[in-house]
Structure 1
């Protein structure tokens, strides 16, 4: 089977966009690479990604090429633009002439700034993973397609009719969304794992401290635990911290045994 160079580059870009399961992952760097691949594959002037939360833009990332232009155009969409339209609908905004949009008073602030930078046309696609929308990828192209793209498929189904450039951008955006969602899940599990490990380690330290005190004092482990707990409450310290002090012999037995009796707040 023969594959074109562009197809191979797209395949590599999709793998890169979804590869986010790493501790050193940085969302800004990752989304800049996605924007760079979009510019390279589509021969676009520049591109950028707007992340949106609760209907408001929360961050902007742009391609290395004409980065400042892309960031300015993304930020100018706070009153409306292709990114917000795509995010709100969950569908691509097909290629549109900046001059036509400006004449129709569509996205006035955005189109005014785009004209200043000689941007001819733009389109946007959503960053989505099933029902989760993260934002939108905005692409700025030097020309409009030779023919206007057909309308989007109906809810009943059908083959997408957008120009191939939009489909390539959507594939990259989908892969980026998968990467973002996978990294969020990965970090949640890593955090939970660390919390469980710390809880287990804390429990081991407390049991070790109980055993050391019980052996030194010649009492039951439960009685040693009561002394640990009362000392912790009296001095308003975490129980695990007191246990570590006992293990390290950083607190003397007399101080621990002096905690016998109810703490100042009256709790047992």
Structure 2
């Protein structure tokens, strides 16, 4: 795909990362694709994604398909040292750093040692964020020459698009769960209304009286009201159990 201009590949990627309204969404595959795209567009040797757990602890989550062992080693060092660590802590991008410099050795001794051992001489990271919420960080690892500010901007655009996609997916899942709950509540209500109507007709009484009998039976037996109503409509619960005073009279 290298013959396609980078601008077009970037535009295609940004559209791709917005398409997350899927039932079969796989977050690890999605963020792995983000890492692969960073490698492709930024001419990197590897890229990885670290996410923040609920307790604020960073964990390696996904990596590029090229040189996975290298990237896993670098991500393993990132929670306590390196550009991803700083990006997660500040919520801001960490510009490209030459890892052969004294500054890198002082600031990130563990990460720098691992990176240089694998031939990585430059690294940077951008936050994976939605508005003010930092979800994680994307790390990009390069040999010489170091990355440019333009590449940093591209990396941030990709991370922002992916974070927005994750946010949309989370909203979509919540919407589906809420829809399911509402449908279940509606089905339960229909079941209860049917049982009320059947009992009111059989007993020649008011629907409210029938509903009171249903509710009292459910409470006495610690059963969900819709379960009791289903038993009534399916005629597996005798009237006498609902109205003991009738001695089982239909």
Alignment TM-score, normalising by the size of structure 2: 0.89
Q: Give RMSD over aligned pairs.
A: 2.2
Runs of at least 5 residues in structure 2 that lack an aligned partner in the other structure = none
Q: How many pairs align?
A: 243
Deviation, structure 1 residue 103: 6.1
- 1:188 matches 2:189: no
Corresponding residue number in structure 1 for 2:140:
139
Moved over 4 A (4+): none
Corresponding residue number in structure 2 for 1:230:
216
For residues 95 and 60 of structure 1, the distance between their equivalents in structure 2, rounded to whole angstroms, comes to 22
**Residues 72/216 of structure 1: CA separation in 2 closer, same or farther (3 Å cut):** farther
Corresponding residue number in structure 1 for 2:187:
201
Corresponding residue number in structure 1 for 2:99:
98
- SS class of match (1:197): helix
For residues 80 and 101 of structure 2, the distance between their equivalents in structure 1, rounded to whole angstroms, comes to 18
- 1:63 matches 2:56: no
Q: Is the 8 A contact 2:21 2:169 kept in 1?
A: yes
Corresponding residue number in structure 1 for 2:36:
36
Corresponding residue number in structure 2 for 1:157:
none
- SS class of match (1:80): coil
Deviation, structure 1 residue 77: 2.0
For residues 259 and 12 of structure 1, the distance between their equivalents in structure 2, rounded to whole angstroms, comes to 73
For residues 10 and 259 of structure 1, the distance between their equivalents in structure 2, rounded to whole angstroms, comes to 76
* Greater Cα shift, 243-252 or 97-106: 97-106
Alignment TM-score, normalising by the size of structure 1: 0.83
Runs of at least 5 residues in structure 1 that lack an aligned partner in the other structure = 150-161, 261-268
